[in-house]
Structure 1
């Protein structure tokens, strides 16, 4: 079995046998999610849980101080950040901020792939969050939330993780980056869907992960998929100009974009830079 077929065959068999090792959320994210589901939890208890993890604490402060929450007064403590974000949204936001901790590897080559994948994910997420922020400003009663798009955008490509972890056990495939990329394209959506199910995420997250780049699925009404796909357009992930034009025109019709060229405007670029501070 050549290197070009090894990983592909292994992935196919493990998927068939339900034997692929799926990543688990960081412990602090699990604690936050469990606490958020407790009707007796309060802001103080949630702050204590988050404060145990320095990286998550910093992430929550960045989110609370971001343009997403539209506040000019900075918060400088986890307790203040949790209060500003609110218990209703904290579950998704904390999970989203903890996801980055999973994109690490002791193998230098795999680590590079993971970091590249995470940067691309953040690029897409930044656009999605910025557009959702604008959309909700104009549609205050819409059935969408910023915490949901933040988490959905940061896990939309989570399926690459199990593939890269599996590849780490088979260093012969590293010599062929194009093949590894093919495996990611072929399997990441399906595997990502299984990851969201294993994490007990709601069906809307699974739908986003499985379908975000399946352009045969075009929701007639505004959908979380639209915002993530807009991010993919902005960063050149969708290569077809015709596809990009069709999608952008539909986003203008849906009220997601003011006009087809809006994402090239100074106003939007400035907003992107402000949203990006959540991740830098």
Structure 2
């Protein structure tokens, strides 16, 4: 690790330990959606009104409900019909995840590109998570999708830090190294601060622990397998590991040697899931 990466990592970890790291806040529309979701008496018209205040998010929800994975014979053009079709929980999780894209923007071109890269990566993993969840578990696909969208949320404060430190911003190797090393611990802290449900909140901090073995299949397992699958066909170090010892595959009932992209039905579903999130 370079001296610069060591220095930045030390500063950020110290800031976390001293509770001095400025954590990002959820976009206002996501906060309103989550607040609405906590009301046990919330109805579809009320939730639709909350989401409807954000035209871009409303359009995204309608796009998702008309995507190949979820559409019915009749095209849906109205937000209230879309919420009715998806259900309140599904809509809230989806809206929360999609609203986060607003956070992945920076004032400098270099960091803005990196934030786009992180977000695009997150939507790719979220798409794979959606398909894995629907095909191999009885867990909620909307929760799995949200887990995929937030698994690298810890990169945000690091990139914000880099924007104010030219030496890090101009050294992409050190920046990537710092992100890889400490985004899990920052991500864990962010989601706990946001009061995310524990099964989702633990994802950033645990999805890269290939020795973990929970009692039952969970969202960490799904994100872990999705991450490994996403690297197939590349030279990434993860592809050099022996996946047969990773318990997440067994819990999903999935052959560690399977390449989901080589299976037409799974590959098409993954492509559809990724495109509906972009």
TM-score between both structures, scaled by the size of structure 2: 0.89
- 1:4–1:190: structure 2 CA closer, same or farther, 3 Å change rule? closer
Aligned 8 A contact 1:3 1:173 in 2: yes
Which residue of structure 2 lines up, in the alignment, with residue 183 of structure 1?
A: 178
Structure 1: distance between partners of 2:5 and 2:129: 35
Structure 2: distance between partners of 1:254 and 1:202: 21
Which residue of structure 2 lines up, in the alignment, with residue 59 of structure 1?
A: 60
Which residue of structure 2 lines up, in the alignment, with residue 132 of structure 1?
A: 133
Structure 2: distance between partners of 1:21 and 1:73: 46
Q: How many residues align?
A: 271
Which residue of structure 2 lines up, in the alignment, with residue 139 of structure 1?
A: none
Q: Output one character per residue of 1:200-238: Cα deviation in whole Å (capped at 9) or x when no partner.
A: 111111221110011121335322222212211122166
Asked if 1:167 is matched to 2:168, the reply is no
Q: Output one character per residue of 1:61-113: Cα deviation in whole Å (capped at 9) or x when no partner.
A: 12222344363432111111111111132221110111111111111111111
Offset, 1:152: 0.9
Aligned 8 A contact 1:7 1:167 in 2: no
Asked if 1:83 is matched to 2:75, the reply is no
Which residue of structure 1 lines up, in the alignment, with residue 243 of structure 2?
A: 244
Aligned 8 A contact 2:213 2:248 in 1: no
Offset, 1:23: 0.7
User: Residue 18 of structure 1 aligns to a residue in which SS?
Assistant: coil
Deviates more, 1:52-61 or 1:5-14: 5-14
User: Residue 111 of structure 1 aligns to a residue in which SS?
Assistant: helix
User: Unaligned regions of 5+ residues in structure 1, if any?
Assistant: 137-141
TM-score between both structures, scaled by the size of structure 1: 0.89
Aligned 8 A contact 1:125 1:150 in 2: yes
Which residue of structure 2 lines up, in the alignment, with residue 23 of structure 1?
A: 24
Which residue of structure 1 lines up, in the alignment, with residue 275 of structure 2?
A: 277
1:69-148 to 2 correspondences below 5 Å:
69=70, 71-136=72-137, 142=138, 144-148=139-143
User: Unaligned regions of 5+ residues in structure 2, if any?
Assistant: none
1:211-250 to 2 correspondences below 5 Å:
211-236=206-231, 239-247=238-246
User: Residue 158 of structure 1 aligns to a residue in which SS?
Assistant: coil
Structure 1: distance between partners of 2:69 and 2:256: 22
Asked if 1:257 is matched to 2:254, the reply is yes
Structure 2: distance between partners of 1:71 and 1:244: 38
Deviates more, 1:233-242 or 1:270-279: 233-242
- 1:270–1:204: structure 2 CA closer, same or farther, 3 Å change rule? same
